Structure 1
Amino acid sequence: MKAKPNASRIALKRKLKGSSGPPRKKVKVSSSNLEDLPWKTLSRPMETGLDGDDGILDLEEVEGVEIVYEETENGKVAMFKVMEDEPKAEGEEESEVDGEQKEAEPESSEDEDESAMDAEEALDFETQLPEWQAFGLTQRLGKSLLAKKFTSPTPIQAASLPHAMKGRDIVGIAQTGSGKTLAYGLPILQHLLSQKRPSPKKRRPLRALIIAPTRELALQVTQHLDDLLKAGEPAQAQGSTTQKKPPPHVSVAAIVGGMSAQKQRRILDRGVDVLVATPGRLWDIIGDDDTMARELRNLKFLVLDEADRMIEAGHFVELENILRLTLRESTEEQIPGEDNEEPTNGQKEAGDDLQTFVFSATLSKDLQRNLKKPMRANFSRKKKAKPATTLDDLLMRLDFRDPEPEIIDLSPQGNLISTLQEGRINCLSTDKDAYLYYFFLRYPGRSLVFLSSIDGIRRLLPLMELLNIKAFPLHSQLEQRQRLKNLDRQSTPNAVLLATDIAARGLDIPAVDHVIHFQIPRTADTYVHRNGRTARANRKGFSMLMCAPEERRIVKALMHSLKREENEIEEIDVEMSMLDKLKDRVVLARQIETSQHKVKKVNHDRNWMKEAAETLGVDLDSDYASNDDDEDNHTSKVKKMRDGKIKGLKAQLKQMLATPIVGRGVSAKFITSGSRPIVNDLIAGQLNDEMIGVKRTEAGSEMLKHKKRKRKSDVRAAAPASP
């Protein structure tokens, strides 16, 4: 039986055509005959798990019914007007169909023009991209790679793409910054670009779902795929301003928390081909959108980026609920009925051709063990087998269509990136601020400082600002706009980003020179991911551990988990004479910050009490009010003294910051005299502007062990030869 057309849609079509159309007839139904209304049965939400059970959760709706009230002897009675359309005149339906065909003609001509344009400017893979030729990429992807200057695949891409292009499931393990996004992004875009351009009149079905653990990573993946698609667009499509731009061949959208949920739902209503989402926001939308839940059963691609982070115990329970929607129903779980008949004529079941990609930098449960918890000996004699790895846990949660997924492990030995250099500073916890300040002045560059708590960032941020260090916070309690803004500010020269482990995974923060572990990470995989924010794409990077005496045990356990020795990380050589002078600056800045914090706290407490009393409509206690009045009488005098003290401290700190730090043995008057003349470094432009007496060098160039070795070799060379 053909469904009745929607009255609002028909009215809209008639309005656009300028015709009133045939009149509708109205039918009155009394309130006692509700069963006579044209009710329509709805399918139940898939997350309830009750779709197909008779007699449970029956949902119905009715359309085209107006409620009116009529006066009767018994008072007002609700009446219902059912709007029904008259039969269409002959030829009307045909004209609409013909109109749709006419509107669809420009779409096919656009595809022909685009293919003709690509044929004229065909890319020669053999000469321009010889290393990509074996993967059989489309012309558009080839042009995108050439425009982005990706002339050769990275090792993870070269190892995974041959299997991915054949439809195999991939589990990839590679170091951070190795190009994992393109390793799974190219097969997805290759498949979607080879399909016919979707009709703008129909909702795009979801074909690929990429799940990421953090908002920043999801937005970054979306931007990366969008840039790749735009780079390969024809020049005519990119520069067309007068003509209306056609819908994109492939649509990519991000669904993350911290942004407008209504706007994201509107994007999904239009339909997207590739959806990049965080588990929490995606599960919230699925709860209100049954169409999205059904589309997950018919996915073509499923990607878990940074998978080990999302399957840790106690994290991302929503991910398990989402993965359940992608599972195939076994014959035992299916309910006999018309909807569960076995496919015939060799047809595949819905979602049977799902291709799964799992990528991460670390996939080992040993790396996720909390190093701060003491190890307990296992005295069980029954279970002597090795504990299950994270890969085993993942295989249990995922429904791989491939009976034997291709596992590609390119993680370096000890999880150490080849272009990364490590160093450490052994100091007291109370001196970490001074050593950190010394590092910023001694080795200028863009630095990313990791702390374990938000309170640590809030304490350290004003201190760095008083010392004229451009520092910006990044943690979970910031609004999403502020987080993205601070990430953009990181690109400024010598900027410092104070972050929690929210920035440790997946983010491609541009040009990070140094990663500093101000507080030792709790797990070894977090240490690996932190280090992965620098030395990306074969660039150099430096990682520094700031180790207090009470943290030695954690560092030792961390190195043991990485199957490395503790002494492998060499200690950085520190100019102690300069450090002592910098400590005076840090102590003074800390004193200013403490005074300002006390003033803010007192004002905050007083304002909070007054606002609470006004909100509740009560009067403050007489003792409190009298004390408040007394304080107000003496406020001006006390405030002047307090502000004067802080102003004097700031002036003293400003004078200290304006005076360069001069090293031991350097003459402040004559550049050619002293035990450490600086004239040569000054002429060569290698003199450090903040620390006179040391060269402007990269971090890691001066290690304590290297200096000791050099001194020993110099002594041996100077010693007289034995007769």
Structure 2
Amino acid sequence: MPNKKRSRETEAPVKRTKKSKLLADELGWKEVAMPDRLDDVEGFFGLEEIEGIDVVADEAGKLQFKSVDKSKKAKKTKVPPAPPKPADDDTEAEDDEEEWGGIIDTEAESTEEEAATKPIAAKPQSEKKKKQKKDAKAKDKKVQQQAAKSNPFETLLEDRLDDSDEDVDLPEWETLDLSFPTLRALAKLKFASPTAIQSAAIPKILAGHDLIGKASTGSGKTLAFGIPILETYLKSSAAAVEVINTDASKNKIEKLPIALVLSPTRELAKQLSDHLMAVAAFVPDFKVVTLTGGLSLQKQQRLLDQGVDVIVATPGRLWEVVSEGIGWIDKLKRGLRFLVVDEADRLLQEGHYKEVEDTLNLLQREEYESGAEDDGSGSEDGDMDAAEFKKKNKPKKKKAPAPKRQTLVFSATFHQGLQQRLAAKGKKSWPKNGTGGDLLDNKESMEYLLKKLNFREESPQFVDANPAGQMATNLREGIIECGAMEKDLYLYYLLLRYPCRTLVFTNSISSVKRLTPFLSQLQLPANSLHSNMIQKARLRSLERFSSPSSPNSILIATDVAARGLDIKGVEMIVHYHLPRTADMYVHRSGRTARSDARGISILLCAPEEVMGVRRLVSKVHEGDNAKSTGKYAMKSFSVDRKLVDRLKRRATLSKKIADSTVEKAKKNKEDDWLKTAADELGVEYDSEEFNSLKVGKKGQRGKQKREKAASASKDDIEAWKAELKALLKQKINSGFSERYLTSGIVNIASALMNGEAMHDNIIGVEKKSVIDEVTW
């Protein structure tokens, strides 16, 4: 910026020209950019601004608008160049305010005045060499940029081919005709062959079709749509970059997103981004931005403003960005080539994720036209009554044009019958046409998707990569029948007897908060995950659970972790509570037995949950051969009941400690809140009087248990901890005779002679994986 004070002092006297008077309607109003929301922005909707107008008051005090000649004004304020400054002057030269134009060959040239005022100092030889190297690099970069104008990825591919130290030999992928960067990334990820959903979906997507993909969990659905997105980006960079002529001399390059991926949970959104970046590891310009709640909105908006190719978002944060930001609806409309809806059955359920519907409506908003049309009857408006005139001049809806983007929908459970509550007493079921339970046979399910999404094609392609059943091929299921109050004990038995990476699912956040300290007191590596945790804590728990250094880690989670998460090495899934719907059971169990791995899903069943389990089996295994003959039944998982009895004291002590700790913290929090509320109201708070309020008979028993746990003294808790610590130092005897090695249930002498691995915490038990306990 020029020095304003000096400009006024050096300004030559100029004769002012008479300004032309203008009316308010004659001014060049420009619309101000507003956030992309649907309301009137608190009354500022339609705000406009003008430039080059002076507001002048005449002698009578009346305001007038007068235009200003910008060219004359610029000439009038032009300042002659200041004399050269000596080298020791503290003030900055005016040339420093000009934009730096880079290193050029004429940089060393100077005028005679500069030579007279600046001392001559010879540059050291090292600086000259550095400058020469800089110049050479700049020239090489300029040559590469000019060469890349015809094909932006040609030089990239050549560099990758020259620098590659490994050969890409993936014969199974050759039929899909993928580019070299994609193949190299697949080789690095050790994906030797495509999965069934990838082989079926990728060619159809690359051919430009809309697609609905149904495949079991862990079958590679992310790459089924991620690879076509990357291939489209590589083949047509013009689809992601649009040049807007904003000035006759300059072109502003705007990078538009080519794909929008919608995810139901934050953890799944982050995982999708990681997988997309992994397959694009050798395409450095490919950028993926994740939009999820719990993290800084401003930072995510800055990343978007820097340019993005793929947006992976949860519905709430996406709606927040497009409604609060400026111009993003227009950018999505102009740039999107792919709209991907992952876990579609969860995102598109009635009454859920209203932000998804609002965003889709903005992207595919229909246009309206108003005005009467001549119906050929020759009647005039005067001959019609008010109702007929209103009916004839009613705005008519144009047929929504087919979007240019492809719509891709993926999930493992599309059948709406799976979404019914298992505990429902009625037998109401979704209408069927009598042919089965998959998507093609369920007419209502297909119409449900077609109604929600504006597909480009009238009949989108459907790919069912798992027609045999809902569950993965390498998954085994088991059930343990136990009392509702014994679930903690049997959970401890499973985790102690079969140490492995285990995911435990519950139906409530309170159960997660209780089970985590319960298992921690038993010296088991338990982590928690639920929706009330802050996002950083959720990510931290997932990192600890999936860390290679903790192969026997445990995650206690609600259904927020049931969908889409791909964590390596999960061998066992334990359903502490019966899931509310059958589709949730499918997704929970899908966290193990992913790809070619094996896994087991165990359900802890209380007597009151038996009917729900029967409904679960009938819905999940509908259409299986065993079920059709009436012989299918969930197998009972073998449990050593004597060993369970020996673990009962440990579980009881740990449960007392955990319940007391949780209830004390909850009570203190409630007391603090009630006391604060009473102080604000100006009344006295008596905790005993408040707790004496009567509750229903149904909640009386639970209230007494909570009060008993919260009333435990500090000495009682310390005594329980000391006893539990002593028990944990001892190994558990599973029927082995300590006096005679060859007696008892297990022959220890024979096991030692045969080199069999013994359990670390249980005497007389072979160290065995839970997967090896079931028949394959």
Per the TM superposition, whether the score is higher than 0.5 is yes
Structure 1 residue aligned with 2:352, among 299, 308, 315? 315
- Classify 1:31/1:257 alpha carbon distance in 2 versus 1 (closer, same or farther; 3 Å): farther
CA-atom RMSD in angstroms: 4.5
Distance (Å, rounded) in 1 between the aligned partners of 2:612 and 2:412 = 22
CA offset digits 1:587-640 (Å, max 9, x no partner): 1122223333454355445544665577x496967999xxxxxxxxxxxxxx99
Decide whether the 8 Å contact of 1:28 with 1:79 is kept in 2.
no
User: Which residue does the alignment assign to 2:339?
Assistant: 302
Distance (Å, rounded) in 2 between the aligned partners of 1:641 and 1:210 = 51
Letter in 1 for 2:276: L
Decide whether the 8 Å contact of 1:209 with 1:303 is kept in 2.
yes
Decide whether the 8 Å contact of 1:364 with 1:391 is kept in 2.
no
- Classify 1:128/1:38 alpha carbon distance in 2 versus 1 (closer, same or farther; 3 Å): same
Deviation at 1:389, TM superposition (A): 3.3
Q: How does 1:317-356 map to 2 (within 5 A)?
A: 317-327=354-364, 329=366, 333-334=368-369, 352-356=403-407
Distance (Å, rounded) in 1 between the aligned partners of 2:354 and 2:631 = 36
User: Which residue does the alignment assign to 2:659?
Assistant: 594
- Classify 1:27/1:685 alpha carbon distance in 2 versus 1 (closer, same or farther; 3 Å): farther
Distance (Å, rounded) in 1 between the aligned partners of 2:254 and 2:468 = 48
State the secondary structure of the residue aligned to 1:86. helix
Which one is further off, 417-426 or 399-408? 399-408
Distance (Å, rounded) in 1 between the aligned partners of 2:713 and 2:178 = 70
Q: How does 1:397-476 map to 2 (within 5 A)?
A: 397-476=452-531
User: Which residue does the alignment assign to 2:194?
Assistant: 153
Q: How does 1:474-489 map to 2 (within 5 A)?
A: 474-489=529-544
User: Which residue does the alignment assign to 2:648?
Assistant: 583
Distance (Å, rounded) in 2 between the aligned partners of 1:387 and 1:640 = 56
Distance (Å, rounded) in 2 between the aligned partners of 1:71 and 1:609 = 66
Distance (Å, rounded) in 2 between the aligned partners of 1:577 and 1:621 = 51
Decide whether the 8 Å contact of 2:364 with 2:403 is kept in 1.
no
- Classify 1:600/1:134 alpha carbon distance in 2 versus 1 (closer, same or farther; 3 Å): closer
Structure 2 residue aligned with 1:277, among 298, 313, 328? 313
Distance (Å, rounded) in 1 between the aligned partners of 2:591 and 2:416 = 22
Decide whether the 8 Å contact of 1:555 with 1:566 is kept in 2.
no
Deviation at 1:216, TM superposition (A): 0.9
User: Which residue does the alignment assign to 2:48?
Assistant: 60
CA offset digits 1:679-704 (Å, max 9, x no partner): 3434524211122122111225446x
Structure 2 residue aligned with 1:519, among 570, 574, 577? 577
Which one is further off, 576-585 or 37-46? 37-46
User: Which residue does the alignment assign to 1:505?
Assistant: 563
- Classify 1:621/1:494 alpha carbon distance in 2 versus 1 (closer, same or farther; 3 Å): closer
User: Which residue does the alignment assign to 1:365?
Assistant: 416
Q: Which ranges in structure 2 are unaligned for 5 or more consecutive residues? A: 76-97, 103-138, 244-250, 372-399, 689-709
Aligned length: 629
Residues 1:544 and 2:602 aligned together: yes
Structure 1 residue aligned with 2:280, among 184, 205, 229? 229
- Classify 1:617/1:82 alpha carbon distance in 2 versus 1 (closer, same or farther; 3 Å): farther
Letter in 1 for 2:749: V
- Classify 1:691/1:71 alpha carbon distance in 2 versus 1 (closer, same or farther; 3 Å): farther
CA offset digits 1:361-403 (Å, max 9, x no partner): 11111111222222346999xx999974333211112122123
Deviation at 1:497, TM superposition (A): 0.7
Distance (Å, rounded) in 2 between the aligned partners of 1:603 and 1:64 = 65
Decide whether the 8 Å contact of 1:175 with 1:412 is kept in 2.
no
Deviation at 1:186, TM superposition (A): 0.7
Deviation at 1:447, TM superposition (A): 0.5
CA offset digits 1:125-152 (Å, max 9, x no partner): 9x71212112221111111111111121
Decide whether the 8 Å contact of 1:660 with 1:692 is kept in 2.
yes
Structure 2 residue aligned with 1:209, among 256, 260, 263? 260
Letter in 1 for 2:290: A
Decide whether the 8 Å contact of 1:123 with 1:143 is kept in 2.
no
User: Which residue does the alignment assign to 1:41?
Assistant: 31
User: Which residue does the alignment assign to 1:343?
Assistant: none
Decide whether the 8 Å contact of 1:328 with 1:351 is kept in 2.
no
Deviation at 1:566, TM superposition (A): 8.2
Decide whether the 8 Å contact of 1:467 with 1:589 is kept in 2.
yes
User: Which residue does the alignment assign to 2:553?
Assistant: 495
CA offset digits 1:71-114 (Å, max 9, x no partner): 9999xx9999999743789xxxxx99x99xx9987634565643
Structure 1 residue aligned with 2:156, among 111, 114, 129? 114
- Classify 1:541/1:62 alpha carbon distance in 2 versus 1 (closer, same or farther; 3 Å): farther
Decide whether the 8 Å contact of 2:551 with 2:569 is kept in 1.
no
- Classify 1:353/1:650 alpha carbon distance in 2 versus 1 (closer, same or farther; 3 Å): same
Deviation at 1:287, TM superposition (A): 1.3
Deviation at 1:33, TM superposition (A): 7.9
Distance (Å, rounded) in 2 between the aligned partners of 1:265 and 1:685 = 58
Deviation at 1:201, TM superposition (A): 6.0
Distance (Å, rounded) in 2 between the aligned partners of 1:150 and 1:36 = 66
Decide whether the 8 Å contact of 1:193 with 1:249 is kept in 2.
no
Structure 2 residue aligned with 1:262, among 266, 283, 298? 298
Decide whether the 8 Å contact of 1:667 with 1:677 is kept in 2.
no
Deviation at 1:253, TM superposition (A): 0.7
Letter in 2 for 1:213: P
Distance (Å, rounded) in 2 between the aligned partners of 1:27 and 1:482 = 68
CA offset digits 1:228-250 (Å, max 9, x no partner): 222x25xxxxxxxxxxxxxx422
Deviation at 1:58, TM superposition (A): 3.5
Q: How does 1:117-266 map to 2 (within 5 A)?
A: 117-118=159-160, 120=162, 128-196=169-237, 202-230=253-281, 232-233=282-283, 248-266=284-302
Deviation at 1:308, TM superposition (A): 0.8
Structure 2 residue aligned with 1:668, among 738, 745, 748? 738
State the secondary structure of the residue aligned to 1:537. coil
Deviation at 1:642, TM superposition (A): 2.9
Which one is further off, 671-680 or 300-309? 671-680
CA offset digits 1:400-427 (Å, max 9, x no partner): 2123321111225331211111111001
- Classify 1:596/1:61 alpha carbon distance in 2 versus 1 (closer, same or farther; 3 Å): same
Q: Which ranges in structure 1 are unaligned for 5 or more consecutive residues? A: 1-10, 51-55, 90-94, 234-247, 337-348, 625-638, 707-723
Distance (Å, rounded) in 2 between the aligned partners of 1:689 and 1:219 = 37
State the secondary structure of the residue aligned to 1:297. helix
Q: TM-score with structure 2 length normalisation?
A: 0.72
Distance (Å, rounded) in 2 between the aligned partners of 1:513 and 1:23 = 82
Decide whether the 8 Å contact of 1:297 with 1:326 is kept in 2.
yes
Could you say which structure has the larger radius of gyration?
Answer: 2
Deviation at 1:39, TM superposition (A): 2.7
User: Which residue does the alignment assign to 1:237?
Assistant: none
Identity across the alignment (%): 37
State the secondary structure of the residue aligned to 1:414. coil
State the secondary structure of the residue aligned to 2:254. coil
Which one is further off, 458-467 or 103-112? 103-112
Decide whether the 8 Å contact of 1:47 with 1:293 is kept in 2.
no
Which one is further off, 36-45 or 128-137? 36-45
Decide whether the 8 Å contact of 2:505 with 2:577 is kept in 1.
yes
Letter in 2 for 1:516: V
- Classify 1:81/1:28 alpha carbon distance in 2 versus 1 (closer, same or farther; 3 Å): farther
User: Which residue does the alignment assign to 1:712?
Assistant: none
CA offset digits 1:190-248 (Å, max 9, x no partner): 01122348599623112111111111111111111112222x25xxxxxxxxxxxxxx4
- Classify 1:451/1:30 alpha carbon distance in 2 versus 1 (closer, same or farther; 3 Å): farther
